[in-house]
Amino acid sequence: MLELEGLTRRFGAKTAVDNITLAIAPGEMVGVIGRSGAGKSTLLRMINRLGDPTEGRIIWRGRDITALRGQALRQWRSQCAMVFQQFNLSPRLDVLTNVLVGRLCHVPAWRAVLGLWRETDRAIALSALEQFDIGALAPQRAGSLSGGQQQRVAIARALVQEPAIILADEPVASLDPRNTTLVMDALQEINRRFGITVLVNLHSLDLSRRYCTRLVGLAAGRLVFDGPPEALTDAVARSLYGLEAAEVIGAEPALVAA
Ligand SMILES: Nc1ncnc2c1ncn2[C@@H]1O[C@H](COP(=O)(O)OP(=O)(O)OP(=O)(O)O)[C@@H](O)[C@H]1O
């Protein structure tokens, strides 16, 4: 169980995340939704401890991870993998090596520094790529791949960490519809096949309704919705997204205004 207790993050006078309390059970696929600036990225980054909360606690399996440092923090990060909008691959390295980076938490540092990856780690990395139908790309430079392919490489890298949680921060924001589907399918497969908890920030309501088992809606840093996709009516969505509602619901602006 992942628990957030009164999680708050301020940047100067701005409260980006405001007193969020949530409990997320193992195996959930949670869509974090809300308009631009609602606090979605700040929330996910705090869970991974890329940003520290101003107030509140993050509890994982009963253990407070809010103030972990050093080796304990590295261990936590190995259990909760991040996937970023801009993939964060090393473009000059080949695809297989990029995925092997996800194994770093499972191998001695000297092996990685010398590039002496064990055959078992190579096999795990290749198998993750094959799982997303991109095994043939293993020897290619990551920078030569399309955005959708790069994001699937990033998801394979996250998977080989063998995490309990994957935090995906707007993973499809820069992808076309076909690649969006491939990447969301990959996240769903990870969730369903391995039982990995997925928290995914999404701008599109349509996608979050289609793929997630639970939606968490933020507005101005506050939790304003928490429930199954069916419970998120268009009226709630309108209150969540305001003037952006037409775009995210996919309705005609005139209908939303009515
Ligand atoms: N490092 C920072 N310094 C100052 N303000 C910040 C910082 N990071 C985020 N903010 C502010 O906090 C608020 C929440 O930002 P955040 O990026 O979490 O929102 P978001 O919902 O992820 O939006 P988007 O979808 O546009 O990424 C915004 O007003 C943003 O400007």
Domain CATH for 20:
3.40.50.300
**Ligand 1, pocket residues at CB < 6 Å:** 11, 14, 16, 34, 36-42
Please state the pTM of the whole predicted model: 0.90
ipTM: 0.95
- Tabulate helix, strand, coil % of the chain (nearest 5): 45, 25, 30
Q: Quick: pLDDT tens for 229-245.
A: 999 888 888 878 876 66
Rounded to an integer, the average pLDDT of 191-211 is: 94
For residue 125, give Cα distances in angstroms to 51, 163, 182.
Answer: 29, 14, 19
pLDDT tens column, 29-87: 999 999 889 999 999 999 999 999 999 999 999 999 998 999 899 999 999 999 999 99
How many domains would you assign to the chain? Answer: 1
216 Cα–ligand 1 center, Å: 17
Structural domain boundaries enclosing 71 = 2-257
Mutation test residue for ligand 1: of 20, 35, 40, the one with most atoms within 8 Å of CB: 40
Residues paired with 94 in a beta bridge:
141
Residue 105's pLDDT is: 77
3-state helix/strand/coil string of 159-170: HHCCCCEEEEEC
Pocket test for ligand 1, best of 7, 42, 43, 54 (most atoms within 8 A of CB): 42
